[in-house]
Amino acid sequence: MRIPEIRNLIVREIEFPVSCNEVKETIGDVCIETPLGSEEELDDVLGRCGAREFKSADELYDAVVGNVSGEHIGRKKYDDRGPSLGQDEVSF
């Protein structure tokens, strides 16, 4: 499951407020992946999260996005479509 799909999962499976442990019990075994192919279980992601309770879907979703491992983060300013985003092309 890609990260943006997690929101639909949260909306369908979780009622708020909810404890972090309840989230782990309900959907902790779901694997999240990046477009680059790496993946990890939601249980591990939430294990790195300091929150004990989530009051809304936004709060839980942000906790997931904020705690995915470094493998989910690509090379700084890398773009697979040519010149890097936000940078002027430089010719040497």
- Interface with other proteins (CB under 8 A), residue from 52, 77, 90, 92: 77
Nearest distance in Å: CB 48, other proteins: 15
CA distances from 25 to 16, 33, 88 (A): 15, 20, 47
- H runs (alpha helix) in the chain: 6-13, 20-27, 42-47, 57-67
Nearer to other proteins, 47 or 74 (CB): 74
- Interface with other proteins (CB under 8 A), residue from 50, 86, 89, 90: 86
Query: What residue type is 37 in one-letter code?
Result: G
Which range touches other proteins (CB under 8 A), out of 23-31, 34-42, 45-53? 34-42
